[in-house]
Every structure is written in structure tokens, then in C-alpha cells.
Amino acid sequence: MAYIDDPETQKANLDYIRTSMNEPLLEKDHELDLARRWSEEGDEKALHELVQSYTRLVVSLAAKFRNYGLPMGDLIQEGNIGLMQAAQRFDYKRDLRFSTYASWWIRSCIQDYVLRNWSIVRTGTTAAQKSLFFNLRRLRAQIEGREEGVALDDDGREEIADELGVKVSEVRAMESRFNGGDQSLNMRIGEDGEDDWQSMLADEGPNPEDVVTGIKDAETRSAWLNNALDKLSEREQRIIRERHLGQETVTLEALGNELGVSKERVRQLEQRAMEKIKGSISNDISNPTELLSSY
């Protein structure tokens, strides 16, 4: 749905557009002289005249994006940012018309604004997807226009995908985005409905019963493990904590250096300690594999 400005904003936009269209066109030599004065002398009056003369170009390019449902005034302002960036970077020594150079910057700024604001969901994260976003409607109209009343089919989607260098699935997804649009989760279902879309979303998290059960199971397993560790020697406890219970696993060699033994001896002590833990837990519960079950 297209954005509709209030009357005062519409009047301000029309006044700006009218003023822009009445700006005089620049001769090439004068244009390059203005660019030179700004580049070499920092002449702000020259910059102002150069930029002001091409606001009509901004209006023209912004009008091509008005069907995306965004305020025309915002599109123009974004285009003006691109125009000023072009003026800042323009190299008059290349003997190129400023309008040719500025068009790319103006269009780029407007396109970025459209992609950021057209939907609350990020659209067009790659160059190919951006091209798809801005060309899908045009290509779809061309294909559908070959036979009046015929909607885009898989062959048409494949043709668009080949044309723009994207996957058919991306064409189908972008088509759905254009047809759907954003909707609030608080929107009522049906005209007289009392439920909203938010109430229809499934909670994929654990239910309260699972949470309580998980906490109890974790406490039980922790008690089993602490009881088994208490039966180990101080050195064995240190090896198990450093090798299995810390945030980072300490190597056998590092532990051997700290304990004054070889890394092979540390491995033997670790294996013996693990056997003791398994035996202790086996005496505490009927099924020791429950310790490793998920919760």
C-alpha cells in the first residue's frame, strides 16, 4: 500500500519539486568549473550551485521508486544525500558529465533506503538479491504480458532466476514477500474475532513441568557426581576437574608438569579415577546410564 502524506507535507513536497524543476541547466564547461572550484578551492558557493542544479535529477530518480509505498519526501532526501556524496567524490579532470556520475550515487542511496524501510524484515542482503528485489516486478510483468491473464508459473520463475543469477527458490520467496507484506501479530483474526495472530503461535520452549523435572534431575545427577568425587584422592579429583569439569580442558602434558609426573601417568590416573566414579555411581543408582541422559 502506498504511503499518503498529510496535506501540508504534500504541499511542501510539491513546492520543493517545482523549485527543483525550475533550476537552470548547467553547461558542461560551467559545470566542470564549479566542480574544480569546490575540489581545489573549497568554494562552497560553487558546491551549492552544482548540487542545486541537479536536484531535478534526484526528483526524477526518486519518482521511479514511489511504488514501494514509502514517503516521496524521504526518497528525495535520501537521493539528495547521494547527490552530495557524488559532489564530494566527483573528479572534474575525467571530463565526465556530473549527472552521469551522480545518477549512480543517487540511485544507490535511494535503493538502500527502500531496502531498509520497505519491510521490518531485512530484504536483499546480497547484490543478487537486491537486483531481484528491484527487477522482479518488471520482469514478471514482461513475462505475464506475453499472454494476458496468465500468472507467473515455474517456467517464468526459472527464466527470471537465470536472468538475475539467483535461485528459483529465491524468486519464489521474494514473490511471496511482495504478495504478503508485513502484518502485526496483534492483528485480530477475522473482522469480529477476539483472538489475534500472536495467540496462534506455538511455544517451542519446554513446558513448566519439563522445566521442573529438568531442574530436579540436574540436582540429582549433581549429587551423584559430587558423592563419587568425594571418594577420590585429592590428586584424582584435580585431574577430573581439570580434564572434564572446567570451561577449558587442560592437556595431559600441562597437568603432568603441574603434578610432577609424565603425561602418560596422568592418563593412567585419569582412567582409574573415571572407573572409580562409574563404580560409585553404580552403587548409588540402579541404572548408571541415567547420568548421561538429556534433560
Domain assignments of the chain as residue spans, ordered by start: 1-118, 121-183, 208-292
Is the separation of the CB atoms in 77 and 9 below 8 Å? Answer: no
- Count CB atoms within 10 A of the CB of residue 58: 28
CATH of 121-183, one of 2.60.220, 1.10.3470, 1.10.10, 1.10.1760: 1.10.10
pLDDT > 60? residue 30:
yes
Q: Residue length, the chain?
A: 295
Look at the domain 208-292 and name its fold.
Arc Repressor Mutant, subunit A (1.10.10)
Domain 1-118 bears CATH identifier 3.40.50.410: no
**For the whole model, what pTM was predicted?**
0.52
Quick: pLDDT tens for 263-290.
Answer: 899 899 999 999 988 888 887 665 545 5
Report the sign of the C-alpha dihedral through residues 164, 166, 169, 170, in that order: negative
Q: What pLDDT is recorded for position 122? A: 60
Q: Which amino acid makes up residue 220?
A: T
Same fold, 1-118 and 121-183: no
Q: Which three cell numbers stand for residue 110?
A: 535511494
Residue 196 pairs in a beta bridge with: 188
**C-alpha dihedral (219, 222, 223, 228), degrees to nearest 10:** 170
Nearest to 53 by CA among 78, 34, 73, 75: 34
Q: What pLDDT is recorded for position 86? A: 93
Q: Average pLDDT of 126-144?
A: 74
Quick: pLDDT tens for 161-173.
Answer: 888 888 888 787 7
**Residue 294: band (very low, low, confident or very high) from pLDDT cuts 50, 70, 90:** very low
pLDDT > 50? residue 224:
yes
Q: What pLDDT is recorded for position 291? A: 47
pLDDT > 50? residue 295:
no
Q: What pLDDT is recorded for position 6? A: 77
Report the sign of the C-alpha dihedral through residues 114, 116, 119, 124, in that order: positive
- Count CB atoms within 10 A of the CB of residue 198: 10
Q: What pLDDT is recorded for position 151? A: 60
Q: What pLDDT is recorded for position 62? A: 93
**Residue 215 parent element (H or E):** helix 208-230
Enumerate residues 6+ apart whose C-beta is below 8 A from 101.
Answer: 86, 90
Of the two residues 164 and 47, the one the predictor is more confident about is: 47
Quick: pLDDT tens for 202-223.
Answer: 777 788 888 888 888 888 888 8
Of the two residues 26 and 144, the one the predictor is more confident about is: 26
Nearest to 281 by CA among 241, 222, 237: 222
Q: What pLDDT is recorded for position 246? A: 81
